[in-house]
Amino acid sequence: MNQLTSNKINCDATHPLDCTTVSSNSVSWTVVEIEMLLDLPFNDLIYRAQMVHRQHHDPNAIQLSTLISVKTGGCPEDCGYCPQAARYHTGIQNLDMLSLEEVVMTAKIAKERGASRFCMGAAWRGPKQRDIDKMTEIISAVKALGLQTCATLGMLKSGQAEQLREAGLDYYNHNLDTASEFYDEIIKTHGYQDRLDTLQKVRGAGMNVCSGGIVGMGETRQARAGLIAQLANLGPYPESVPINNLVQIVGTPLHGAETLDPLEFVRTIATARISMPKAMVRLSAGRQEMSEVLQALCFLAGANSIFYGDTLLTTDNPGVEQDKLLFRKLGLHALQLGSENVL
């Protein structure tokens, strides 16, 4: 068995599977070390991930987030996976921004169904000040419902993160998408450093960071390791880490990409859990195509958050009743607001 650096994994020599990871945000991970985790025998990797998970989280609690698109279509960027890019012919229309009343009504329904966090996405390169003005009003109204708030609005300019925080925004999502060395294969209209700069602005404003990536875009295992290492080394690592399995949309450049092996997806979840032990690791896009067995393996590997609701921005998601049935089968329950990282 590969032996990982001792300051990350401490193993009893008489039983090499009796391992725990340190939870400090100051620990750094190399890409090679993440690859070593990914290379472990499957049972050993899941065992370690589940041990780490139980040290920091209720093993049967799942945080429920609902995600809506407050501004759909017309994005000027060229992200190869995104059906909302104006340059691709995907059938997604460029729509006006939703009204305050429409967003609040959707948020109320999400809360009634059991969601504790309400996430709002907009297909912008980055928000203009008039967009910030509208979003701050919406954020305040959603926050007043007793929900955690999250937004993903693109790249932020100086001062915008502070305005969002003052309005009551709890989390800002800006995914790294993939490893830096593979990034130019997916996106060319902005660079990797642009994403890191936005995350720095979010952290500097005192907000929680939500950042993860997409797998199944034709990347190598080394690139997946690079993504996890980059996230784990953000210092501190994100409080919320969404792991997306590519949803292939006709008309986007990544339609037809080779499908990622399901067990490799589970390995990615487990590695995220071990390297970011206190984070909420979220099963995000692609869950509609996952069997109940695959989702159960992901929960066993340390995933403890899902997007909850019939749609994710512009793609399908398992229905609420379908998720409730799966939770009953697995003995899972919704995490209550404010009880993250209680162990």
Predicted TM-score (pTM) of this structure: 0.90
Q: Which residue is catalytic, options 48, 117, 210, 267?
A: 210
Is the confidence at residue 341, as pLDDT, over 80? no
Distance CA(84)–CA(182), nearest Å, equals 21
Tell me what the mean pLDDT of segment 170-174 comes to: 97
Q: What is the DSSP letter of 288?
A: G
Reply yes or no on whether 79 is catalytic: yes
**Closest C-alpha among 202, 229, 217, 232 to residue 80:** 217
Tell me what the mean pLDDT of segment 283-293 comes to: 90
Q: Which residue is catalytic, options 48, 79, 165, 267?
A: 79
Confidence of residue 93 (pLDDT cuts 50, 70, 90): confident
Tell me what the mean pLDDT of segment 76-93 comes to: 88
Average pLDDT over the chain reads 89
For the domain 51-334, what is the CATH superfamily, name and number? Answer: Aldolase class I (3.20.20.70)
- Give the residues across from 9 on adjacent strands: 21
Q: Which residue is catalytic, options 119, 224, 273, 298?
A: 119
Q: Which residue is catalytic, options 82, 165, 267, 298?
A: 82
Is the confidence at residue 6, as pLDDT, over 50? no
Provide the percentage of residues in the chain whose pLDDT is more than 90: 73
**Residue 77 structure tokens:** 């960027």
Q: Which residue is catalytic, options 19, 48, 117, 150?
A: 150
**Residue 114 structure tokens:** 């059991």
Reply yes or no on whether 82 is catalytic: yes
Is the confidence at residue 189, as pLDDT, over 80? yes
Domain residues of the chain, as ranges? Answer: 51-334
Reply yes or no on whether 210 is catalytic: yes
Residue 254 vs residue 22, higher pLDDT: 254
For residue 32, give the 3-state DSSP assignment.
helix
String of DSSP letters for 262-284 = HHHHHHHHHHHHHHSTTSEEEE-
Q: What is the DSSP letter of 319?
A: -
Q: Which residue is catalytic, options 48, 273, 282, 287?
A: 282
Distance CA(257)–CA(218), nearest Å, equals 6
Reply yes or no on whether 298 is catalytic: no
Q: Count CB atoms within 10 A of the CB of residue 53.
A: 23
Tell me what the mean pLDDT of segment 185-194 comes to: 93
> Tens digit of pLDDT for each residue in 295-314?
999 999 999 999 887 665 66
Confidence of residue 5 (pLDDT cuts 50, 70, 90): very low
Distance CA(71)–CA(121), nearest Å, equals 7
Tell me what the mean pLDDT of segment 74-97 comes to: 88
Confidence of residue 91 (pLDDT cuts 50, 70, 90): confident
> Tens digit of pLDDT for each residue in 315-339?
566 688 888 999 999 999 999 876 6
Tally DSSP H helices, then E strands, for the chain: 11, 14
Distance CA(177)–CA(79), nearest Å, equals 10
Q: What is the pLDDT of residue 311?
A: 60
